[in-house]
Chains A and B, each alone.
Chain A
Amino acid sequence: MLKLKELKASIGEKSIIKGLNLEINPGEVHAIMGPNGSGKSTLANVLSGKDGYTVSGSLKFEDENLQEISIEERARKGIFLAFQYPLEIPGVNTSNFLKTSLNSIRKANGKKELDTISLIKLIKEKASELNIDEKFLSRQLNVGFSGGEKKKNEILQMKLLEPKLSILDETDSGLDIDALRIVADGVNSFKNKNNSFLIITHYQRLLDYIKPDFIHVLSDGKIVKTGCSDLAKELEKTGYKNFN
């Protein structure tokens, strides 16, 4: 599904991703761990197509060259990024945002746009699965949401949009124990043999709930080690010092 070869990304003079290779197949869950500032969010941003980076190397998504595809087209093709710091958009009602988003994606994929009534029904259904109070849906997008509520809102969007590749950037940070479980259940119930996940996290905790097929250690813009779930346990004990 996703194939990265010798991916490099820099901002201005500063090079951040320094030759990264990664292949994610349908149905796989990959976790990325790594010290602060190692380039995890940058990788997520680059995959989403965010402006401002100088990117080189090969980025293929379902055999298409991502570099030629705009942000919204990537999203429409099924790349979803749950942000580490979800943005507030004052004035924009949450359910209206979800509605516009889902319909843009449906339209681009030749599906019929949903009317408001079926949409609201669908959104409420997904929200209740994540234990999100309906009241949030009529509030302004992320405005005044607590850290954990913002993260849950990202997962709500993921479940609604049903992407092929979901990139979760530290979705677990800031979640309380119950919320972590709910979010993990949300991911697990959505997971199937056709969709894939790239989960960025600092904690093994989340990986107890969501079993990754691979764990990669990112350090200074490169994947320095790849292993299976034991690697997370090892890291929890020893930290990143062996990888610097």
Chain B
Amino acid sequence: MTMKPKEIDKLKDYKYGFTTDIENIKSPKGLNEETIRYISKIKNEPNWMLNWRLKAFNRLKSLKEPNWQKPKYPKINYQELYYYSAPKSFKDKPKSIDDVDPKLIETYKKLGIPLEEQKRLSGVAVDAVFDSVSVATTFKGELEKLGIVFCSISEAIQKHPELVKKYLGTVIPITDHYFATLNSAVFTDGSFVYIPPNVKCPMELSTYFRINASDTGQFERTLIIADKGSYVSYLEGCTAPMRDENQLHAANVELIALDDAEIKYSTVQNWYPGDEKGVGGIYNFVTKRGACRGKNSKISWTQVETGSAITWKYPSCILQGDNSVGEFYSIAITNNHQKADTGTKMIHLGKNTKSKIISKGISAGKADNTYRGLVDISKRAKNSRNYTQCDSLLMGNKCGAHTIPYIKNKNSSSTIEHEATTSKINEEQLYYCNQRGMDQEEAVSLIVNGFCKEVLQQLPMEFAVEAQKLVSISLEGSVG
């Protein structure tokens, strides 16, 4: 990673490529105990939290970065990174939206996030993470009436320590793999959601992540707990300014669904992918894991991945409860020099558990797209079922698509079904569309959105429209 934050002039392609000129407070550079103590201190954390972080840090010393994934990346120098960066005006935390730096509000406006009062009417509760701090959580009052907790994880550590202590790290333990453990040591902020028993959350909850400061890694931690019989739908969106150095995003997301509860988690990821030559862009190394801990519980992941230089993530479900259900719907689009290695893990432990995987990979330019998935049905998981469908669509001759399914079925009463297709956007189809008056881009967008439809349908309505546009934009000019 280069140190000088050289801004790129050509902002035309990546609409979110602006930076916000805000004074930042940064932690001392580098990864060491001092940095961790600094983060914990500035966030005024209780001792147990600091100890938890230090434990993770100690563990980290004995771990190595994984190297089995397909995309290779230049070595990251962890000592050259800042682990905490916050807009200066946040030192005294804003009490209400009116205290938030107007420049920040401006940034969010550009991003189209409904932060302001008037936009609250749009019915989405938003928690926005800017570099490392959670900026404002809208709709808090209304949610509180139902007993729903939706706040930043830092606030949850202060106000709901019993919940955080009980659940944090129970799905992604601090002894997990390198990036997850790194996150446990240095995570800065993120969202926290708790839905009490039998409450159906009446609105989409949403977080928006933005990396603004240069040389800053973003390490959010999200924890969502759906108590017995509850329901929540959560949406995450991301952008970053265009910089010609690579930036690291290593988030951890933990979901816990108790008996009869359901969590729907949707991501629309549009991190800066780097330019056409492959310079710059976000390294998106994220650990997302959900535990269907109770019987009849359900967790469903939906992701639309269009950004990042390198994406490396496997939102997973651990189906512990009997009759629990895990779903994974994914669209991964790679263009130019982007690389994505993504998929899911479905670990069947309970009886009669079901999982469904629908993966749509689209590659254009010189990009590389790998689906990697594990379906593991344990001995105990009698009568369990998995259905996997992996479709790849290629545009042009220089891109690649790979499907790597790992299947382990340890009992005979369970079934695993796997279907995979690879297709190319067909000249004849484009001709048909052209003859009906559509230009090349319109035709591609129509066909690609058709290809992805099963996944787009899973998204909440207002985001589906946005995602559809994003899909088209990220492939613009890729068929010539």
Measured CB to CB, the residues of A under 8 A from B are 48-51, 70-72, 75-76, 80-81, 83, 86-87, 89-93, 96-97, 100-102, 104-105, 108, 140, 157, 161
Contact = CB atoms under 8 A, between A and B. Distances in A.
A50 B431 contact: yes
Scoring B427, B447, B452 by chain A CB atoms within 10 A of each residue's CB, the highest score goes to B447
A75 B437 contact: yes
Contact of A89 (B434, B439, B442, B450): B450
A87 B437 contact: no
B228 to A, nearest CB: 38
B436 A97 contact: yes
A75 B434 contact: yes
A60 to B, nearest CB: 19
Contact of A72 (B428, B439, B447, B451): B439
Contact of A91 (B438, B440, B451): B451
Contacts of B434: 49, 70-72, 75
B143 interface: no
Given A89-B447, A89-B450, A92-B447, A48 B442 contact: no
Contact of A76 (B427, B437, B440): B437
29 contacts: A50-B435, A51-B427, A51-B431, A72-B434, A72-B437, A72-B438, A72-B439, A75-B434, A75-B435, A75-B436, A75-B437, A76-B437, A87-B429, A87-B432, A89-B429, A89-B433, A91-B452, A91-B453, A96-B450, A97-B433, A100-B438, A100-B442, A100-B446, A101-B436, A101-B437, A101-B438, A102-B437, A104-B438, A108-B437
Contacts of B433: 89, 97, 100-101
B442 A104 contact: yes
Contacts of B446: 92, 96-97, 100
Contacts of B453: 91, 93
B389 to A, nearest CB: 13
Contacts of B437: 72, 75-76, 101-102, 104-105, 108, 161
A76 B433 CA distance: 12
B439 A91 contact: no
Nearest to B451: A91
Nearest to A76: B437
Nearest to A99: B446
Interface in B436-465: 436-440, 442, 446-447, 450-453
B455 to A, nearest CB: 11
A132 B440 CA distance: 29
A93 B431 CA distance: 17
Nearest to A105: B437
A72 to B, nearest CB: 5
